A and B are shown apart, each in its own frame.
Chain A
Amino acid sequence: MSIIWHITSAVAILSTLMVVTRYNPVHALLYLNVSLMSLALLFYLLGAPFAALLEIIVYAGAIMVLFIFVIMLLNLGKETAVQEKKWLKPRVWVGPMALALILLLEIFYLLHTSQQMTGGPYANGRGLGTAVSSRAVALSLFQTYVIGVEMAALLLMAAVVGAAHIGRHKKTNLHRFLNEDHPL
């Protein structure tokens, strides 16, 4: 069990190092994805399958798509196709692929032997060893820590209002005859 924990940690550290040393943002993103997935597996090993899934859905899924969208939007044009071709070299995807494969094998092994959630080496004796079901997560969020959830809501409100203010463009009020975009 502990050996799987160490392999996953090594994958996490290696992929994160690759993230910060890549020059091309998309290459870095591929490694970032692997890093996030290995973090998810670490959560799973610690006995938190719900957090592991959230890590994959929210970080590896939603935020990563957002990143890629922004990058794709930035370099539209004829060079895009050429760049696409360059990106598809094996040199680019073999690294992340191999690391992801390790994670995949690990999760298959774990599922097959149904050895799950006994906790990593740091979890022993600290009350982390038992698996936390999603029911327990929901109960603690909406009963024990309900004030914390409310605070997080207010935090998001502050962020949304601030971003809306900073990002707003000032309307220029031109008469429609002066507006060149809509000729009569």
Chain B
Amino acid sequence: MSPSDYICLLPLIILALASVIVMLVIVAKGSHKTIQFVSLALFALAFASLFPEAVPLPHAVPPLLLMDRFGAFVIALILLSGGVVCLLSYLYFEGKEEGPKEYYLLLFLCSLGGGILAISQHFISFFLGLEILTIALYALIAYLKSRPKAIEAGIKYLVLAAFSSAFLLMGMALIYMEVGNMSFAGMSGAIRDAPSLPPLFLAGLTMLLVGVGFKLAVVPFHMWAADVYQGAPIPVTALIATVSKAGVLAVLIRLFLALEVLSFPRAALGIGLLAVASILVGNILALQQKNIKRLLAYSSIAHLGYMLVGFVPGTRQSFESLSFYLVSYILATLTAFGIIACRSSKSEESELLKDYQGLFWSHPKEALILTISMLSLAGIPLTAGFTGKFYLLLATLEPDYWALAFVLVLGSAVGLYYYLRVITTLFGSYPIQENTPSLPVTSFYILCLSLIGMLAILTIVLGIFPSPLIEYIRGIWIS
């Protein structure tokens, strides 16, 4: 490896070293606060090293990795989510029954897995990145191991994720058998001249999609989502909803673009069906949820459906809109889970919708931030969610995919109902409660709240002035 390779991969190298550094801090008996500050500093350092001046950006590190501007963009999103989750974790884990030490180590490894996925251009790095991400998540989900729900969620995720990895591997093996190459570029060379996809290749691609579908929790592979979201600690739920989705989505985009699969109508139809099913089922199942974590789980299924819609046209514009949508989804999701984490006490998570009854009258700041996040997820104008959805709709309508556009609008209309239900709960009458213990306001609480508030403000700013981000994303996809 040449020096420029090292410079280029510096963010990932820092993440890998960070896990070792955290281990050393644990051995030196550092306090929770020390570990927290070290972790935050390392996340910031990785973020700072992301855009190297010395190396012009499409830089391949053959044969496994390719760092280009899209990869840097997704890694930036992953590091942002990782950093926010890291800060939330202090608030959440301080005073919990489990020492939070290994937690930060696994958090770094999880982000590393997502980062590897974002820049991989080879089946080997695809699989290894995905497994680093998933194996770190198994332990993170079951981290509070004395709680039955956490163990249940951990086991569920373990069994289903291992099963889906087996599907993924089998799909990769079938594709390799057909084309005899495992790098994305090499595979595309082998099938480019084919008039239609060879059957073995199509079978492999289908199995690969099943595996990826499980990780993205799109319908019909969504069964685990609600239980795992509910059982996992709140920061980890935020991590599943952001880092793992962004990483897997990025590698799927890379694979599909390299193979030019979408020019084959059968493949585009398959993705379109997954998208339609996810949008409809996710939104309908979310309607009657009384638990806000489950509600967000079903909402994330629907959002992944919206993002898959962006795959179908296969134009540059559709991938631009998908990237924008990913940003708006990650911002809104982090904000929502941030507020839920802030509202939770040491022994109980405030996950029921009725815990938020009349929150506006007691804690107006938190309620306003949660409202902004819900509005953005629902796609109300003046938020980033609206711009993202509008952009996506435009990208779908330009090549005349009317049915998909109709489902997208229908799904958003159904979704409005449950997002607004959360908001009406927040602004509803304040319940008469017997001595509710008020949460202590620490300096970390204020720090977290201001960070989440900044994310909420960013959501609105992107809703009003989306052009800088759109210009930036265009720049990514032109090159």
A residues at B contact (CB < 8 Å) = 122, 126-128, 144-148, 150-152, 154-155, 157-159, 161-166
Chain A residues whose CB sits within 8 angstroms of the CB of B63 once the complex forms: 144-145
Given known contacts A151-B132, A154-B16, A155-B132, A163 and B139 CB-to-CB distance under 8 angstroms? yes
Give A123 Cβ to nearest chain B Cβ, in Å. 10
Given known contacts A148-B128, A159-B135, A154 and B142 CB-to-CB distance under 8 angstroms? no
Query: Which B residues, 123 to 155, have Cβ-Cβ distances below 8 Å to chain A?
Result: 124-125, 128-129, 131-132, 135-136, 138-140, 142-143, 145, 154
**Interface residue B387 (Cβ < 8 Å from any Cβ of A):** no
CB 8 Å contact bits of B54-70 with A (1 = contact, 0 = none): 00000001011100000
Interface size grouping (class) on chain B: 20 to 34
Asked whether, in the complex, the Cβ of A162 is within 8 Å of the Cβ of B136, the reply is yes
Query: Which B residues, 410 to 433, have Cβ-Cβ distances below 8 Å to chain A?
Result: none
**A146, A147, A152 pick with most chain B CB within 10 angstroms:** A147
**Interface residue B24 (Cβ < 8 Å from any Cβ of A):** no
The secondary-structure label for the interface of chain A is: helix
**Interface residue B355 (Cβ < 8 Å from any Cβ of A):** no
Asked whether, in the complex, the Cβ of A152 is within 8 Å of the Cβ of B138, the reply is no
- Sample of 8 A–B contacts (CB below 8 Å): A146-B1, A155-B128, A158-B113, A162-B102, A162-B140, A164-B102, A165-B145, A166-B145
A64→B102 CA distance, assembly (Å) = 30
**B105, B124, B139, B143 pick with most chain A CB within 10 angstroms:** B139
**B124, B132, B177 pick with most chain A CB within 10 angstroms:** B132
Chain B residues whose CB sits within 8 angstroms of the CB of A159 once the complex forms: 135
Residue of B nearest to A159 (CB): B135
Give A165 Cβ to nearest chain B Cβ, in Å. 5
Chain A residues whose CB sits within 8 angstroms of the CB of B102 once the complex forms: 161-162, 164-165
A157→B17 CA distance, assembly (Å) = 12
**Interface residue B309 (Cβ < 8 Å from any Cβ of A):** no
8 Å CB contact of A151 from B61, B116, B136, B180: B116
Chain A residues whose CB sits within 8 angstroms of the CB of B132 once the complex forms: 151, 154-155, 158
Given known contacts A145-B63, A148-B64, A163-B139, A158 and B109 CB-to-CB distance under 8 angstroms? yes
**A144, A152, A157, A159 pick with most chain B CB within 10 angstroms:** A157
Chain A residues whose CB sits within 8 angstroms of the CB of B143 once the complex forms: 165
Residue of B nearest to A163 (CB): B139
8 Å CB contact of B106 from A144, A150, A151, A162: A162
8 Å CB contact of B109 from A144, A154, A164, A166: A154
Chain B residues whose CB sits within 8 angstroms of the CB of A154 once the complex forms: 16, 19, 109, 112, 132
